[in-house]
Amino acid sequence: MVTYRTSMQIIADLLTATQDSGMEGIRTTSLLTKANLSHSRLGKFLENLTGAELVNRIEFDGKHTFVITPKGRQYLESYRRFSSIAESFGLEL
């Protein structure tokens, strides 16, 4: 049986990949690979993440780099805590 990720899980994956890249940020292609998303789906998620100020998009030389914001770090930490609590009760997010 195939299990699909929820939007919250995808957002957590994107924020984790962005956080792991450090202050240099992560480019679109690397983010596509690490989050395992198509370009069109990634675009929609990044639009939401930048709109919510969870990540910043930096454009340099025609290329986009994404850096997690302090608000994004806080969101990711809260998601991880909530996910851990939910799992302890046998719930899946």
Task: Give the pLDDT of residue 60.
Answer: 81
What is the C-alpha separation between 56 and 65, in angstroms, rounded?
8
**43-48 average pLDDT score:** 96
* CA distances from residue 61 to 36, 64, 65, 72, 88 in whole angstroms, order as listed: 25, 8, 10, 25, 47
| Domain annotation for the chain: domains and CATH numbers | 7-82 (1.10.10.10)
Question: pTM for the full model?
Answer: 0.91
Listed in order, strand segments (DSSP E) in the chain are: 26-27, 55-60, 63-68
Looking at per-residue pLDDT, the higher value among 2 and 42 belongs to: 42
Looking at per-residue pLDDT, the higher value among 23 and 11 belongs to: 11
